[in-house]
Amino acid sequence: MAKKDFKPGNMLYPLPAVLLSVADKEGNSNLMTVAWVGTICSDPPMVSVSVKPERFSHHMIEETGEFVINLTTEKLCFATDYCGVKSGKDINKWKAMKLTKVPGTEVSVPMVGESPVNIECRVKEKKELGSHDMFIAEVVAVHVEENFMDDRGGFHLNDARPLVYSHGRYFATGEDLGFFGFSVQREKSRYDN
Q: Tens of pLDDT along 152-179? A: 998 988 888 999 999 899 999 878 888 8
- 189 in a structural domain: no
Cα–Cα distance measured from residue 108 to residue 54, given in angstroms and rounded to the nearest whole number: 23
Mean pLDDT confidence for 43-50: 98
| Residue 137: exposure state from Cβ atoms within 10 A (0-12, 13-18, ≥19) | buried
pTM for the model stands at 0.91
Is residue 6 assigned to a domain? no
Q: What is the pLDDT of residue 190?
A: 57
Number of domains the chain is built from? 1
Nearest CA to 61 out of 117, 11, 6, 109 is that of 109
> Helix count (H) and strand count (E) of the chain?
3, 12
Task: Look at residue 125 and tell me if it is in a domain.
Answer: yes
| Residue 4 resides in a domain | no
- What pLDDT, on a 0 to 100 scale, did the predictor assign at position 191? 53
Q: What angle is formed at CA 119 by the lines to CA 167 and CA 127, rounded to 5 degrees?
A: 65
Average pLDDT over residues 82-90: 95
Q: Could you tell me the residue range of the domain that residue 113 belongs to?
A: 15-184
pLDDT confidence of residue 176: 82
Q: Please, which pLDDT band fits residue 139 given cuts at 50, 70 and 90?
A: very high
Q: How confident is the model at residue 193 (pLDDT cuts 50, 70, 90)?
A: low
Position 51 scores a pLDDT of 97
Task: Report the pLDDT value the prediction gives residue 178, as an integer from 0 to 100.
Answer: 84
Is-contact 61 44, C-beta < 8 A? no
**Residue 33's CATH number:** 2.30.110.10
| Banded pLDDT at 12 (limits 50, 70, 90) | confident
**Residue 192: predicted pLDDT:** 55
Please report the pLDDT score of residue 182 as a whole number. 86
